[in-house]
Structure 1
């Protein structure tokens, strides 16, 4: 039984994790908004949810669970509509909600932690796993990895999953830290504007998901 993984898997997995996390999408919009409004820990809470979602998808892909991929493809319409509705609901709530200025003040006093924003973790986790494009994309990535790095054993597969999660974590850590350092430049008016822009973008992403599905169904 192989106990030592192919070490080339680690940097490849980290790069994949960053590439999966970096593109601008609904999760990024929500994480950036949380980091601006709530600071470093707010952004990290949202980012950890996305990282866990990516890790779960990567785990299924690495174990070669073809039934999962088939089920996702078969139920893609329902998953896409549910994900779109969730995005619209989050977007509307964010658009109409006033920014949490109290959270900004308390963090300046150094009393906040990840626990204060833990509810954002399941939110972004749900948004990640209900994005059929991201799910099938990670399955496709695992299918193409074998062309340049060998993944033969369960140890290799689990190492790849951990590396992808590590890359995703590094991305959210760096992004949250950067925004946390700059957020003091945002006035209350800027925070209101940020909430409305982020809420609008989430609604747009949700409408595009639903619109694409309806177009495919009727065309």
Structure 2
């Protein structure tokens, strides 16, 4: 029986995965932009990167890796500044790049697949793991979950991590499918506007992260 996880872990993990994926943030902005520009598989590729990032953080939290949590706390401003710079770079690239609009009904012989957008996976993965808010938030969530759902073994820990990733993936599949159903109404000009707005939002998120670090540094002087 020790090899069977606590059955409550699975629904709790799925809910955590959805709650972590759903709020609007820099990663969400990029994933939504990818789904609008590139269609269902573009959104899935970006969502997979976010899911893998959430999964890695959740694994560390579920296994009680206190050293990682402590390192994040100690080096939080460095990580935050790095994350801010990455966001500004992604935002600037998105703002100035020409939209790559994937047709809604492509030629079957040249239909886009997940493999065509695989490079988006490491991009959103990097954005996720360099976001100190996401890291500390997941550690805090797991700390609260442990008060009413027991995670007593490695099987329990791995199960809840898998459930978190499953909930995150379910969110991105649903959102990408929803966007794919309505993106046919967009023109290249509207897509260019969406790219610029998304780019400005990413730059804004990055500037806020960097600004907070600067303010804290000045306050320490």
Which TM-score band applies after superposition, normalised by the shorter structure? over 0.9
Cα distance, 1:142 vs structure 2: 1.0
Cα distance, 1:105 vs structure 2: 2.7
How far apart in 2 are the matches of 1:66 and 1:109? 51
Contact 2:39/2:104 (<8 A) preserved: no
* Residue in structure 2 matched with residue 189 of structure 1 by the alignment: 189
* Residue in structure 1 matched with residue 103 of structure 2 by the alignment: 105
Cα distance, 1:107 vs structure 2: 5.8
Instruction: Name structure 1 gaps, 5 residues minimum.
Output: none
* Residue in structure 2 matched with residue 198 of structure 1 by the alignment: 198
Task: Kindly report the root-mean-square deviation, in angstroms, between the aligned alpha carbons of the 2 structures.
Answer: 1.1
What's the secondary structure of 2:2's corresponding residue?
Answer: coil
How far apart in 2 are the matches of 1:150 and 1:67? 21
Contact 2:84/2:210 (<8 A) preserved: yes
User: Paired residues, what number?
Assistant: 217
Under a length normalisation based on structure 1, what TM-score does the superposition of the two structures give?
A: 0.97
Q: Do structure 1's residue 24 and structure 2's residue 7 form an aligned pair?
A: no
How far apart in 2 are the matches of 1:48 and 1:4? 27
Question: Residues 1-219 of structure 1: matches in 2 within 5 Å?
Answer: 2-101=2-101, 104-105=102-103, 108-110=106-108, 111-219=111-219
Stretches of 4+ aligned residues off by more than 4 angstroms? none
Instruction: Name structure 2 gaps, 5 residues minimum.
Output: none
Contact 1:151/1:157 (<8 A) preserved: yes
Of residues 30-39 and 137-146 in structure 1, the stretch that sits farther from structure 2 once superposed is 137-146
- Over residues 90-119 of structure 1, what are the superposed CA-to-partner deviations in whole Å (9 max), with x where a residue is unaligned? 000000001013xx1386224110010000
Contact 1:39/1:107 (<8 A) preserved: no
Under a length normalisation based on structure 2, what TM-score does the superposition of the two structures give?
A: 0.96
Contact 2:83/2:131 (<8 A) preserved: yes
